[in-house]
Structure 1
């Protein structure tokens, strides 16, 4: 082969390899913002204004989970605590996990902590997400007691499932937003999971009698993400 032609071939191959590398880096950054389970294409929305589910309304810091109220309200609060976070807040995944640890039963504390960690980015992933100013939140579609739980309760021996224990399967959409370079990028992913909790009815000596729909609730366990009870 002519030396000039050989140099031209090598140059073309080098340029092509560099372009492939840049594409791979871009895809990696894009996937980082989307998260490992996101399959929907990202949508660039540089002109969108704040909405009810926009990152403008994501709290600037981890918020305590309110344990008072009904079990369904508590399950929704757990979902918010799991999915609402902001890597630009100055806090890390451990800070967000602590909000759930504060409302977890002592008997299931270690197991529940492991469940929660599986929903949050690792410290290493968090550091990379922070470079993209990534924020996350959730919109909840349904909160229902799954049929599998109702069957389990019906078949359980007396005392096997403590009073006040219930499971809620939650479905919704996880939203993420961040920046790829200077371009705003958003991505969504459908999620489903089950929250296991226990609630103690509020006790009062004054009439009317205690309402079983209100009281103090605590987190027991979480199912794997996208592997809920049905």
Structure 2
């Protein structure tokens, strides 16, 4: 998969109807060949969330429970920044990086990171927003795991190895029924490395883990600035 700039999409006949419809992209690969690509709803593609990530071990000193309820006042907001742009490539790259950028030392909770991503990257009026919130939450540790990670001062970031439009996307567009996809919808598949660092018995430790996922975004003509629609289950991208 080579990085490339997506071609502009043609407006759908009825944009309002397009907002009410959902899409699915299901790819079945066997012996290296593509057998079926169908369109229905994104939700079916996303499936159930993966198991919660295993916390990275670290120091044995637990944080004061009261600390987690406080919001920092002297440190800048640690959330990743999503570019407010109509450039699909730039938007996709910044969204991928922001999705994996968190730091348990700053006193925020996973819900704060989800809300930050929704505020920066989504369209509140889109009917997929509730589904996107669920997608985002699945990319973060749950509350119990987060509390465990706080003990080890764990923070995370993503290093992108490759990002681009998956080869199957052209076939998805070809087979999509009229008004199924918002005009300007495009998919980006990301392959990268998730880096976590923390503290174990007073020493800095680090772990690396390969990740892959696909983002569905919409740009012009539906949106002047690109918006994130949905995410696939982590490590189950389109190819």
TM-score range, shorter chain: 0.5 to 0.7
CA distance in 1, matches of 2:180, 2:232: 20
Tell me which of 96, 100, 111 is aligned to 1:79. Answer: 96
Q: Does 1:222 align with 2:231?
A: yes
TM-score, with length taken from structure 2: 0.64
Tell me which of 140, 144, 167 is aligned to 2:160. Answer: 140
CA distance in 2, matches of 1:220, 1:65: 14
Structure of larger gyration radius: 1
What number of residue pairs does the alignment pair up? 165
CA distance in 1, matches of 2:205, 2:80: 25
CA distance in 2, matches of 1:172, 1:74: 16
Tell me which of 99, 104, 110 is aligned to 2:122. Answer: 104
Aligned pair in 2 of structure 1 residues 93, 140: CA closer, same or farther (>3 Å)? same
Structure 2 portions without partners, runs of 5+: 1-53, 58-75
Q: Does 1:181 align with 2:201?
A: yes
CA distance in 1, matches of 2:77, 2:203: 22
1:146 shift after superposition: 0.6
For 2:137, the equivalent position in structure 1 comes to: 117
Q: Does 1:93 align with 2:102?
A: no
More helix by share: 1
CA distance in 2, matches of 1:157, 1:92: 40
Structure 1 portions without partners, runs of 5+: 1-30, 35-58, 204-214
Contact 1:81-1:96 at 8 Å conserved across structures:
no
